Structure 1
Amino acid sequence: MKKAPSNPNRLPLIKLIHVARRELHMDDDTYRLMLASMKGLDGATSTADLSVPNLVRVLEQLKQRGFTVRPKNAQQRPMATDGPSRKIRSMWLTLHGLGAVRDPSEESLAKFVLSMTGVAALQWLTGPQASRVIENLKQWQQRVELASTAAKEGV
């Protein structure tokens, strides 16, 4: 198939489509099948083959599947850098590395902390709240590691 003509609007659309794929946890085969099944794309299975109007159609299809575009300049709060916050973040990323946390982002961590403490940001946690989060993460990590060990031993 012939590559689509060069257009300065193509690259940002292609990047956004790939962000959508990642956020929707869409594997390569599923994504290519979605493209191939879309009417009007002439069986294209890659964004490299698509024109800007067709890239927009693909993005709309991904939005229908649950993707939401977030503005690039969305207000982000500064990352908490105190000791307990760094410990919490480190444990969160460790759990992600173990496969227990799907989304390692600061936003996801903030939602977890909010659900546990009612506080929407690490930097606003009191000492006892931070300790509660740390202890919960420790217990979670122990359960994950125990399950992993048991699975390896075939128990």
Structure 2
Amino acid sequence: MARHLAAIHVLKHKLAMSDDDYRALLLHLTGYSSAKALSASEQARVRRHLQKLAEPAQATTPDRAVWDATPMERKVWALWKQLGRDGIIADTSAPALRAWIKRQNGMEDLRFCDWPQLSRLIEALKRWQQRGQEG
């Protein structure tokens, strides 16, 4: 069990996750905000998830989130790209999306957002698209 805790913290550091993002991820995956409160199987699950996030092939692909994302994350990406096609935003890159997400809800990356945050992001993008079409 201690091996999982140590590995989790090493992976957290490797991913450069803020403490808030880390705790939100734990809460999303397990319902707990502290790794110490997790059972051995929950720790193993968190460890596997963090290892998957830290894989080099994914980290070097700017649009990694599009291929390895939940349906709601893919919806955020689709709306973001559509804003670019509509000429509402100029930069539809992954860093630009991450910067917007950080301004909207304080999370470092789309993959760290929970369901309510993703829902708010989707609605904000829809409103942004509507304003762009009106004006």
TM-score by length of 1: 0.44
Deviation >4 Å, runs of 4+? none
After TM superposition, the structure 1 = structure 2 runs for residues 1-155 of structure 1, keeping only pairs within 5 Å, are: 76=60, 78-79=64-65, 80-147=68-135
2:12 matched to which residue of 1? none
| Higher RCO (CA < 8 A, seq sep 6+) | 2
Answer 1 or 2: which has greater helix percent. Answer: 2
Unaligned runs of 5+ in 1: 1-74, 148-155
Letter in 1 for 2:124: N
Cα deviation 1:84-137 (Å, max 9, x = unaligned)? 110000000000011111111011101101110100111110111001110100
Relative distance call for 1:118 and 1:76 in structure 2 (3 A) is farther
TM-score by length of 2: 0.51
Cα RMSD after superposing both structures: 1.4
Give the Cα–Cα distance (whole angstroms) in 1 for the partners of residues 60 and 107 of structure 2. 16
Give the Cα–Cα distance (whole angstroms) in 1 for the partners of residues 60 and 100 of structure 2. 17
Identity rate of aligned residues, in percent?
A: 30
Cα deviation 1:55-102 (Å, max 9, x = unaligned)? xxxxxxxxxxxxxxxxxxxx5474251111100000000000111111
Give the Cα–Cα distance (whole angstroms) in 1 for the partners of residues 110 and 103 of structure 2. 12
Give the Cα–Cα distance (whole angstroms) in 2 for the partners of residues 76 and 134 of structure 1. 25
- Give how far 1:143 is off: 0.6
Letter in 2 for 1:115: R
